[in-house]
Structure 1
Amino acid sequence: MGLFKLLPLLFISFSAATILQNGQIRPNDYRNTTVTARDLSSEPAWVSYPPDAPELSYKGRWDHQYISWWSAPGLKFGFEADSVAISFGNYTSDGVLIAYRVDGQDWLLTNVTANSTHMLVGPRTEGNNLTHPSIHTFEMRVTNWAYGVQIKCVHVSGPAARLIHVPNFPRTMELIGDSLSAGQYATLEGISSYSWGLMYGLGNVEFSITAYPGICLHDKRCYGNLHGQTFQWLKTPDTSGRALEIYGDGPDIPDWDFESHPPADITVINIGTNDNNTANNVTHKDFHDSYIRLIDEVHVRWPASQIIVLSLWEGFGETDNMWIQGGGFVDIIQDVVRSYNNGSLNERGGEGFVHYFNTTGILQHNDIGPLYHPTDVGHIKLASHLMQYIKLTFGWVLDQTGPEVQHDTLYWNDQTSY
Structure 2
Amino acid sequence: MKVFSLCALVSLCTLTAATIYENGRERPTRFIDTKIASLGSNATAWSTYGPNATELSYKGRWDSQHISWWAAPGLKFAFTGENVAITFGPHTTNTVLVAYRVAGLDWQLSNITTNATHQFVSPSNPGLNATLPSQLPLTFELRVTNWAYGVQISAVHLAKNEKLIKVPEFSRRIEFIGDSLQSGYGATYEAFSGFGYTVGAGLGETEFSVTAYPGICLHDANCWGNPRGQTYQFFHTSDTSPRALALYNSTPPLYPFASQPTPTDLVIINIGTNDNNTANPVRGDSYYRSYLSFVPRVHETFPDAEIVLMGLWGNFVRQGNTWVQQAKFIDEVERVARELGEQGFPVSYFDTKGILQHGDIGPTFHPTDAGHIKVASHLMRYINIKFGWELKATGPEVQHETLYWNDQVNY
| Large movers: runs of 4+ above 2 Å | 7-26, 40-44, 124-128, 130-133, 414-418
CA-CA distance at 1:42 after TM superposition: 5.3
Structure 2: distance between partners of 1:83 and 1:139: 14
* Aligned equivalent of 1:74: 74
Q: Is the 8 A contact 1:17 1:28 kept in 2?
A: no
Residue deviations 1:244-270 (CA, integer Å, cap 9, x gap):
0000013xx100001111331010000
1:138 aligns with 2:137: no
Q: Is the 8 A contact 1:16 1:96 kept in 2?
A: no
Q: Is the 8 A contact 2:122 2:128 kept in 1?
A: no
Secondary structure, counterpart of 1:61 in structure 2? strand
* Aligned equivalent of 2:5: none
Secondary structure, counterpart of 1:145 in structure 2? coil
Residue deviations 1:211-251 (CA, integer Å, cap 9, x gap):
0000000001000000000000000000000000000013x
Give the 5 Å matches for 1:215-364: 215-250=216-251, 253-261=252-260, 262-342=262-342, 345=343, 350-351=344-345, 353-364=346-357
Structure 2: distance between partners of 1:19 and 1:388: 29
Secondary structure, counterpart of 2:395 in structure 1? coil
* Aligned equivalent of 1:403: 396
Structure 1: distance between partners of 2:338 and 2:212: 25
Q: Which moved more, 1:314-323 or 1:105-114?
A: 314-323
Q: Is the 8 A contact 1:58 1:74 kept in 2?
A: yes
Cα gap change, 1:361 to 1:131, in 2 (>3 Å): closer
Q: Which runs of 5+ in 1 are unaligned?
A: 1-6
* Aligned equivalent of 1:4: none
Code of the residue aligned with 1:24 in structure 2: it is: R
1:31 aligns with 2:24: no
Identity %: 51
Residue deviations 1:90-124 (CA, integer Å, cap 9, x gap):
00001000000000000000000210000000113
Structure 2: distance between partners of 1:117 and 1:191: 23
Structure 2: distance between partners of 1:320 and 1:128: 55
Secondary structure, counterpart of 1:235 in structure 2? coil
Structure 2: distance between partners of 1:369 and 1:149: 28
Structure 1: distance between partners of 2:250 and 2:136: 47
* Aligned equivalent of 2:157: 155
Residue deviations 1:286-344 (CA, integer Å, cap 9, x gap):
111111222111100111100010011111112111211111111111110011222xx
Secondary structure, counterpart of 2:196 in structure 1? helix
Residue deviations 1:2-33 (CA, integer Å, cap 9, x gap):
xxxxx734444433464444433332221111
Residue correspondences, number:
401
Secondary structure, counterpart of 2:298 in structure 1? helix
Structure 1: distance between partners of 2:20 and 2:120: 23
* Aligned equivalent of 1:124: 124
Structure 2: distance between partners of 1:366 and 1:293: 36
Cα gap change, 1:396 to 1:327, in 2 (>3 Å): same
Code of the residue aligned with 2:234 in structure 1: it is: W
Structure 1: distance between partners of 2:348 and 2:149: 32
1:199 aligns with 2:200: yes
Cα gap change, 1:80 to 1:220, in 2 (>3 Å): same
* Aligned equivalent of 1:210: 211
1:388 aligns with 2:381: yes
Q: Is the 8 A contact 1:61 1:69 kept in 2?
A: yes
Cα gap change, 1:131 to 1:21, in 2 (>3 Å): closer
Structure 2: distance between partners of 1:387 and 1:290: 27
Cα gap change, 1:378 to 1:131, in 2 (>3 Å): closer
CA-CA distance at 1:134 after TM superposition: 1.1
What's the TM-score once normalised by structure 1's chain length? 0.92
Structure 2: distance between partners of 1:284 and 1:118: 48
Q: Which runs of 5+ in 2 are unaligned?
A: 1-7
CA-CA distance at 1:417 after TM superposition: 4.3
Structure 2: distance between partners of 1:412 and 1:295: 42
Q: Is the 8 A contact 1:43 1:157 kept in 2?
A: no
Cα gap change, 1:410 to 1:14, in 2 (>3 Å): farther
Cα gap change, 1:25 to 1:322, in 2 (>3 Å): closer
CA-CA distance at 1:390 after TM superposition: 0.3
Q: Is the 8 A contact 2:312 2:352 kept in 1?
A: yes
Structure 1: distance between partners of 2:77 and 2:9: 35
Structure 1: distance between partners of 2:21 and 2:154: 32
CA-CA distance at 1:196 after TM superposition: 1.2
Code of the residue aligned with 1:259 in structure 2: it is: A
Code of the residue aligned with 1:238 in structure 2: it is: D
Q: Is the 8 A contact 1:169 1:205 kept in 2?
A: yes
Structure 2: distance between partners of 1:242 and 1:21: 30
Secondary structure, counterpart of 1:314 in structure 2? strand
What's the TM-score once normalised by structure 2's chain length? 0.94
* Aligned equivalent of 2:181: 180
